[in-house]
Chains A and B, each alone.
Chain A
Amino acid sequence: EPEVTQTPSHQVTQMGQEVILRCVPISNHLYFYWYRQILGQKVEFLVSFYNNEISEKSEIFDDQFSVERPDGSNFTLKIRSTKLEDSAMYFCASSETEANVLTFGAGSRLTVL
């Protein structure tokens, strides 16, 4: 069964450092998403991406965050200058169309010290 693959599975970084989280969506999917879950809190929507541009973003997704599809297979989330409160599990997801169910990856745990 096709999977969404995320790397790294766990990253530890110092506050103020830049972090890039990588995702390989399912190959025929056209819509891509990032969600995050701070420990003990709900999974929250960050951003959706289609046709090489952001289609929707939440209030959380401020100027510190950016997404990119640098090639035909990867979808990345960059945090420019990490803060302690960015520590969370970040989930990538993809879907074939906007109305299809999302397929999620296993997540990347980010720890900011």
Chain B
Amino acid sequence: AQSVTQLDSHVSVSEGTPVLLRCNYSSSYSPSLFWYVQHPNKGLQLLLKYTSAATLVKGINGFEAEFKKSETSFHLTKPSAHMSDAAEYFCVVSTRPGYSTLTFGKGTMLLVSP
């Protein structure tokens, strides 16, 4: 069965400093991996996706993630945090080839201080 583990429930950074949100996955086949973000009272918004093409994936709002098969990781990074980045971030793996059934991580709350 596919699964994802988000290693931190909360991450706190100062505005302008780098962001690192960690995710490890387990999959019996080559997975599709995603990062979703949820701002308060908003839906889950897709940040980026990995689907076996380039291992470094660029997403919206300056975020990127690198797929590392040897480490079974898909960490999310951003060089410089902005106050508007404060939200909950979910690492997600597709349960089977094709995207429809997704397995979510528990989420990481990103806190950004001035």
Footprint of B on A, CB under 8 Å? 3-4, 9, 31, 33, 35, 37, 41-45, 48, 55-56, 91, 93, 95, 98-107
**Cβ proximity bits B94-106 to A, threshold 8 Å, 1 near / 0 not:** 0100111111111
Contact of A3 among B34, B43, B99 (CB under 8 A): B43
Q: How far is the CA of A87 from the CA of B90 in the complex (A)?
A: 21
Q: Which 4 residue pairs are nearest across A and B when measured between Cβ atoms?
A: A104-B44, A43-B104, A104-B43, A106-B43
- CA separation between A46 and B110, bound complex, in Å? 27
Q: Are A33 and B44 closer than 8 Å at their CB atoms?
A: no
Do residues A48 and B104 form an inter-chain contact, with CB atoms below 8 A? no
Given A91-B44, A106-B41, A106-B42: A56 and B100 interface contact (C-beta under 8 Å):
yes
A9 CA / B107 CA spacing, docked (Å)? 21
Say whether B101 contacts A45, CB under 8 Å.
Answer: yes
Closest Cβ of chain B: how far from A45's Cβ, in Å? 5
Residue B56 at the A interface, CB < 8 A? no
Task: Take A42-B104, A42-B106 as given contacts and tell me if A99 and B99 are in contact as well, using a CB distance cutoff of 8 Å.
Answer: yes
* Residue with the highest number of chain B CB atoms closer than 10 Å, among A45, A100, A102: A102
Residues from chain B with Cβ under 8 Å of A102 in the complex: 46, 99-100, 102
Contact with A along B16-48 (1 / 0, CB 8 A): 000000000000000000101000011111100
List 13 other contacts, CB 8 Å, given A44-B104, A93-B44, A101-B99: A4-B43, A35-B104, A41-B106, A43-B107, A48-B100, A48-B101, A95-B99, A98-B98, A101-B49, A102-B46, A104-B36, A104-B43, A107-B43
Answer whether A98 and B99 are a contact pair too, CB < 8 Å, given A41-B106, A104-B43. yes
- A residues near B105, Cβ cutoff 8 Å: 42
Q: Please, which residue of chain B has its CB at the minimum distance from the CB of A106?
A: B43
Chain B residues, CB < 8 A from A95: 99-100
Residues of B within 8 A of A3 (CB): 43
Measured CA separation A93–B34 after assembly (Å): 15
Shortest beta-carbon distance from A95 to chain B in Å: 7
